[in-house]
Amino acid sequence: MNLLLFAADELHDGRLRIAGRRAEHIRGVLRLQVGDTLRVGMIDGHRGTGRILRISGEEIELAVGLDRAPPPRPTVELILALPRPIMLQRILKQATVLGVARIHLIRASRVEKSFFHTPVLRPERIRALLLDGLEQAMDTRLPEVMIHSRFRPFVEDVVPAMTGRRLLAHPDAPHDLAAAFTGSRERQRSVLAVGPEGGWSDYEVGRFREQGFMVFSMGPRILHVDTAVVALLAQLQLLSSLEGRDGGSRALPRS
């Protein structure tokens, strides 16, 4: 836990009282005592410092001061064909660590119907995984997670409202991510679509193409979805950084 997060309604007159997992971490892992300080942040709000005033039984009371804005809001929107629950847990946390503004979990032809009934999709479980990611990344902005159980209404009604360069990962594409990224006229924001381990169907690729998605491949190696998401988000960060540094003048040729 690099940042102790709390909800706005937990703070009263600059005082925060916590118990449970957060208090146990402070006592057992950080081994802090009365008078010690740690980094704190209000969910979807500012960050600052908490000074421990009292440790009593299972409860800890802190004096909180919030004087720093959160990091800039992420500029990536992730579309993800719903993976197996164990992978979904890893992806939700790691995507939050790397920085996404919104995650769309969608139905694809190679997604098992049973995946939509997993307890991982319960709001409280999703929130817990996102908070874990924010604590690691020292951010306070919760990504929005949306679940779409039907592909066609999603691609026809939801996708058109998305803004930014549109990128679709698919193993049979002739271009790599750098070519797709620099070949887009859009700037600032990106919408990244990652399919199931069996890949998108031809129909799904076609529908995404109709919505302006540029299709790219990650190369000859077949990756697990959770590995692919982490790798692609990291690559997008690098490409965005390079684009911001040189104003996008280093566009790569498209093969």
- DSSP collapsed to 3 states, 49-107: EEEEEEEECCEEEEEEEEEECCCCCCCEEEEEECCCHHHHHHHHHHHHHHCCCEEEEEC
pLDDT digits (tens, 9 = 90+) for 30-77: 999 999 999 999 999 999 999 999 999 899 999 999 999 998 899 999
Q: Confidence band (pLDDT; 50, 70, 90) for 150? A: very high
pLDDT on residue 185: 66
Model pTM?
0.90
What is the rounded distance in angstroms from the CA atom of residue 244 to the CA atom of residue 189?
12
Return the SS3 of 46. coil
Please tell me the distance from the alpha carbon of residue 46 to that of residue 69, in angstroms, as a whole number. 5
DSSP-derived letter for residue 154 is I
End-to-end CA distance of the chain: 44
Fold classification of 4-68 is: Ribosomal Protein L25; Chain P (2.40.240)
Q: Where in the chain is the domain with CATH 2.40.240.20?
A: 4-68
138 conformational bin, left if phi > 0, alpha if psi -120 to 50, beta if neither? left
Where do the CATH 3.40.1280.10 domains begin and end in the chain?
Answer: 76-246
Q: Which fold has domain 76-246?
A: Alpha/beta knot (3.40.1280)
Worst-scoring range by mean pLDDT, 88-97, 180-189, 209-218? Answer: 180-189
Of the chain, the percentage scoring pLDDT greater than 90 comes to: 80
Residue 221 — pLDDT band, cuts 50, 70, 90? confident
Please return the burial class of 184, using the count of CB atoms within 10 Å of its CB with bins 0-12, 13-18 and 19+.
middle
